[in-house]
């Protein structure tokens, strides 16, 4: 596994059109790489030289393909220059079976970049031939036939990104009031209007859910405690799966009628409980508290 901390790392992503190069680049970008698609190969040393002047290395994921004639003529020299500058350059080559590529182009209705005559099968064969020298020197070859985009993402990260250096999931717990509109950023939305409303308790009406009296009132009901127990079990199941998926941000929205009492109290309670078992970034926000 590559140590991405000791020096600059360059992942050159190349291969057949339709084999998943964009997905691979995106997965690396989401985990701290500067990602550039279709960078002319002769510009790579110039980019690295500019960074060298500032005295720092970068982690770079760059997409290159057969559309650029200079790639096939100059990749050896350019890759050597990058290594001489101190970079660990790795070549990732993606491919797929012809029938899979034909199906993907048919489904997306995108033209193959080399299919000037409209003959897709011939374009795929031509691209294989052109890129054969790069395939021969690749550090990793992935055949994406039958792979989901998520599985491709996992395989790229397993090979090129240390597990401990991946960005952790950032969770925001958000309280809101339905009468003020739904929060568009919500990934999980919980409606707690089924619980007794402190608004109708005279001594609690002027307070909000941040007050211990309001929280104690909301928690005094068995349905509240049952709800929270089931919710925490669900989040204990879901959060690791979201993290494995590579999701960077998750907003858990808790809503009541006005966003003052029940949702605020339970969002705060949920946030406190998650702090004891969740290692990622955790933020609490009350949207409708003035």
User: What are the tens digits of pLDDT across the range 116-132?
Assistant: 666 888 888 889 999 99
On whether the pTM is more than 0.95, the answer is no
Q: Are residues 100 and 79 in the same domain?
A: yes
* Of 200, 241, 18, the residue nearest 108 (C-alpha): 18
DSSP three-state, residue 36 = strand
Residues 83 and 57 sit within 8 Å (Cβ to Cβ): no
pLDDT-based confidence at residue 4 (cuts at 50, 70, 90): very low
Q: Which two structure tokens, joined as six digits, stand for 72?
A: 């096939």
Q: Could you read off the pLDDT of 150-172 as tens digits, one per residue?
A: 888 888 888 887 644 555 688 99
Residues 137 and 91 sit within 8 Å (Cβ to Cβ): yes
Q: Which of 21-35, 51-65, 77-91 has the lowest mean pLDDT?
A: 51-65
Q: Are residues 101 and 121 in the same domain?
A: yes
Q: Tell me which of 145, 165, 185 is where a domain ends.
A: 165
196-212 as b/e, with b when 16 or more CB fall inside 10 Å? ebbbeeeebeebbbbbe
Residues 6+ apart with CB under 8 A from 26: 35, 153
Residues 82 and 11 sit within 8 Å (Cβ to Cβ): no
Q: Are residues 16 and 141 in the same domain?
A: yes
DSSP three-state, residue 68 = coil
Q: Tell me which of 115, 148, 165 is where a domain ends.
A: 165
R_g of the chain, CA atoms, integer Å: 26
pLDDT-based confidence at residue 7 (cuts at 50, 70, 90): low
Which CATH number fits the domain that encloses residue 154?
3.40.50.300
On average, the pLDDT of the chain sits at 88
How many domains would you assign to the chain? 2
How far apart, in whole angstroms, are the C-alpha atoms of residue 11 and residue 5? 14
Per-residue pLDDT, 54: 65
Q: What domain range is 214 assigned to?
A: 170-286
Q: What is the largest CA-CA distance in the chain?
A: 80
Q: Are residues 26 and 157 in the same domain?
A: yes
Q: What is the mean pLDDT of residues 228-256?
A: 90
Q: CA angle 60-280-172, nearest 5°?
A: 105
Q: Which two structure tokens, joined as six digits, stand for 246?
A: 């590579």
Residue 3 has pLDDT above 80, yes or no: no
Q: What is the mean pLDDT of residues 67-83?
A: 90
* Of 173, 152, 128, the residue nearest 267 (C-alpha): 173
């Amino acid at each position: 596994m590559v140590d991405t901390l000791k020096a600059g790392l360059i992942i050159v992503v190349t291969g057949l059109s339709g084999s998943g190069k964009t997905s691979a680049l995106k997965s690396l970008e989401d985990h701290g790489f500067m990602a550039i698609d279709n960078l002319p190969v002769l510009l790579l040393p110039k980019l690295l030289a500019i960074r060298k002047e500032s005295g720092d290395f970068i982690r770079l994921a760059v997409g290159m393909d057969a559309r650029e004639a200079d790639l096939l003529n100059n990749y050896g020299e350019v890759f050597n220059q990058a290594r001489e500058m101190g970079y660990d350059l790795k070549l990732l080559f993606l491919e797929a079976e012809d029938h899979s590529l034909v199906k993907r182009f048919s489904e997306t209705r995108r033209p193959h970049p080399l299919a000037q005559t409209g003959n897709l099968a011939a374009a795929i064969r031509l691209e294989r031939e052109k890129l054969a020298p790069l395939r021969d020197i690749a550090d990793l070859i992935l055949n994406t036939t039958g792979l989901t985009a998520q599985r491709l993402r996992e395989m790229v990260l397993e090979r090129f990104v240390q597990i401990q250096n991946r960005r952790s999931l950032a969770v925001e717990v958000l309280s809101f009031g339905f009468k003020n509109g739904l929060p568009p950023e919500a990934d999980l939305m919980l409606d707690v209007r089924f619980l007794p409303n402190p608004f109708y308790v005279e001594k609690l009406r002027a307070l909000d859910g941040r007050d211990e009296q309001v929280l104690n009132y909301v928690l005094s009901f068995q349905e509240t405690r049952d709800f929270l127990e089931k919710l925490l079990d669900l989040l204990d199941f879901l959060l690791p799966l979201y993290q494995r998926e590579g999701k960077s941000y998750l907003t858990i929205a808790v809503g009541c009628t006005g966003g003052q009492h029940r949702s605020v109290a339970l969002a705060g309670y949920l946030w406190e409980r998650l702090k004891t078992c969740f290692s990622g970034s955790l933020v609490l926000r009350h949207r409708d508290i003035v």
